[in-house]
Amino acid sequence: MAKYAFLKARGMDTVLRVHVQPRGGKNEIVGLYRGFLKLRLKAPPVDGEANRECLRFLSKILKQGRGQLEILHGERSRWKNILVRDRNVQELESLFEAILPLSSGNT
């Protein structure tokens, strides 16, 4: 079982569950919200801009090629499931342990 509720194993890949807040002023990880990783993004939710910004931002954070990320569910929602190809849950847990504040916990 994953340490973080927002990470789900899917074979050799991982599904990252995120909650996106568009028009947030800057791109940043806010913390955890209802079991999802909460992201604040600069882009507005117009013509897929926030989705593209979300994938670019996560690509940078995860040090993963943009082509390795795909929105599986939630293209028209703030609640998204994003496939991270060729990265297992344990790798992403280690990465997020270094990024997330200790007080975030697994809410």
CATH number at residue 49: 3.30.1200.10
Average pLDDT over residues 43-56: 96
Q: What is the pLDDT of residues 73-105, one digit of tens each?
A: 999 999 999 999 999 999 999 999 998 865 444
- Is residue 38 domain-resident? yes
Nearest to 87 by CA among 69, 60, 106, 105: 69
For the chain, give the percent of residues with pLDDT over 70: 92
CB 57, CB 24: distance < 8 Å: no
Other residues' Cβ atoms within 10 Å of the Cβ of residue 96 = 20
CB 10, CB 1: distance < 8 Å: no
Q: Which domain holds residue 51?
A: 7-83
- Is residue 107 domain-resident? no
- Is residue 99 domain-resident? no
Indicate if the pLDDT at residue 54 is higher than 60.
yes
- Is residue 65 domain-resident? yes
* Mean residue pLDDT across the chain: 92
- Is residue 95 domain-resident? no
- Domain count for the chain: 1
- Is residue 55 domain-resident? yes
